[in-house]
Amino acid sequence: MSGGLLVAGTTSDAGKSVLTAGICRWLHRQGVKVAPFKAQNMSNNSAVVVGPDGRGGEIGRAQAMQAAACGLAPDLRFNPVLLKPGSDLASQVVLLGEAVDTVTAGNFRELRPRLAQTAFAALAALRAEYDVVICEGAGSPAEINLRAGDYVNMGLARHAGLPTIVVGDIDRGGVFASMFGTVALLDPADQALIAGFVVNKFRGDLGLLRPGLEMLHRVTGRPTYGVLPWALDLWLDAEDSLAYGRVLGRPAAPHGTEWLDVAVVRLPRISNATDVEALATEPGVRVRLTVEPAELAAADLVVLPGSKSTVADLAWLRRSGLADAVLAHAAAGRPLLGICGGFQMLARAIHDPVESRQGSVPGLGLLPIEITFDPRKTVRQSTGTVGGNVAVRGYEIHHGYVSSADPALVPLLTCADGTGEGVVLGAVHGTHWHGAFESDAFRRRFLTEVARLAGRTGFRVAPGTAFAAARERSLDLLGDLVEEHLDTDALRRLIEAGAPAGLPFIPPGAPPAAG
């Protein structure tokens, strides 16, 4: 089997990432040498990949998850362009893993040819190496204001001759109109590559939906390849923290007699929110994201997660009243955890001439440390121990570093080179490491200490929870959903032979460019 496919969507969060991963897992289980690809991702959830030169680089978290679905280690080529928003108007550009520039509306047109060339070259290299490459689009292919310079959706499909399926989220409503409208706003050459549809997040009687699918086929000339049901267990490795509900996952009953309640502050520029997913896999641990100061008062553990804009998010924390709630929580001796940007906020002072360019600003003052930002970005995988015998793995993505610290402070972790990392001061914990709680023994040790500090004497960690196994179960579920609910024979033909000839044009097509 050889070929490729583009999974486009009617909207952001329509299900492109999970459908791509599901198709990848299905093909992998069929013995196909398959790889994922997303030309450009915009996300602050990233994974660290060791590049060919041995240096760490970043790709979107979703592409790392899709690589796992393929049975592969992550590769920088799987997501050659990553945009990490630092504000509503500017994003850091990560090209083949390395931060190279900042993009704004003003300079994107100048940067775009370079980004497109890099993306096209990466896809060509992957197609030469793998039997099948399953590509994920971004946003919607019918964003008519962006089509002229597009290299992620139909621009990529046209360049590489990729047949395209469009996935729509029926849970949002209006799925038939959005699918029809997506096709009808494309020009004839783009429409010729749109082979059909997939409905996502359906719950109810399929018999009631089927007449609509048949009518959609009649008016577009394109079939629906299947209807994926709503699956409550698909919440790991979310592409965007906004994809979460208030409570992460499906909390299992406690192993002991008491629950642990974890409140994670949903910062405006939250990054790598996936850090807390490992906590949410533990029975008896309820993890919720919140922007309400009152919800911190009842929490056993408060988490300040990573941030792409530490100083700006700290200012928001103060304006929203959440900073006062965090300080009150810490003053009561209740557990507090800061991760990366959240850790930096706990400092006495933050010196930032790089990200915010605001110079020196006061931190929350909960840790006797100072943070200084460096233009050079630390991007690396890390290993270490806690207590001398508990292994921990994680990864680092940050500009800020601890430039001054009270020498009496106790580190949270001991790195492989013997240096300390992070801080423990009473009930306050901080670390620059992402992903540390995916290490099962460390997670259990940390939650046991949190329960002690919070007075939850009835809480017990479950001895058998394995985060890696939970992730594999999620990927297998995606593969099962594709096998059971999609027309895989038709999907295979599409991947091998491309879009069928003679697909009808649906008017009006793309409107003429303004001006």
Q: Flag residues of the chain having pLDDT under 50.
A: 241-245, 515
Give me the residues paired with residue 355 across strands.
none
Alpha helices in 57-164 (DSSP H): 61-69, 108-129, 154-160
Write out the two tokens for 95.
């090209």
| Residue that has been written with the tokens 């030169």 in this structure | 53
Domains and CATH numbers, the chain: 3-234+471-491 (3.40.50.300), 256-462 (3.40.50.880)
Distance CA 280, CA 79 (A): 27
Distance CA 12, CA 52 (A): 32
Distance CA 422, CA 440 (A): 19
- The answer to whether 341 and 310 are in contact (CB under 8 A) is yes
Going across the sheet that includes 98-104, the strands are: 40-42, 81-85, 90-95, 98-104
Task: Identify the pLDDT of residue 444.
Answer: 95
* pTM for the structure as a whole: 0.91
Catalytic residue flag (residue 70): no
3-class secondary structure, 183? helix
- Maximum separation of any 2 CA atoms in the chain, in Å: 74
Give me the residues paired with residue 247 across strands.
288
Nearby residues of 221 by Cβ (< 8 Å), 6 or more positions away: 503, 504, 506
Instruction: Kindly give the pairing relationship between strand 224-229 and strand 285-290.
Output: unpaired
Which among 398, 399, 429, 434 is annotated as catalytic? 434
- The answer to whether 122 and 37 are in contact (CB under 8 A) is yes
Task: Identify the pLDDT of residue 358.
Answer: 86
3-class secondary structure, 228? strand
Task: Identify the pLDDT of residue 236.
Answer: 67
The per-residue DSSP string of 344-381 comes to HHTSSEEEESSSS--EEEE---SSSEEEEEEEEEEEEE
Write out the two tokens for 385.
């121990």
Which among 24, 329, 340, 432 is annotated as catalytic? 340
For residue 1, the 8-state DSSP code is -
Nearby residues of 503 by Cβ (< 8 Å), 6 or more positions away: 191, 192, 194, 195, 221, 222
As separate numbers, helices (DSSP H) first and strands (DSSP E) second, the chain gives: 15, 26
Q: Using one digit for the tens of pLDDT, what is the confidence trace for 322-360?
A: 999 999 999 999 999 999 999 999 999 999 998 888 889
Distance CA 329, CA 21 (A): 40
- The answer to whether 450 and 260 are in contact (CB under 8 A) is yes
Catalytic residue flag (residue 340): yes
**Among residues of the chain, what percentage have pLDDT more than 70?**
97
Q: Using one digit for the tens of pLDDT, what is the confidence trace for 231-281?
A: 877 766 665 544 444 777 778 899 889 999 999 999 999 988 888 989 999
Task: Identify the pLDDT of residue 104.
Answer: 80
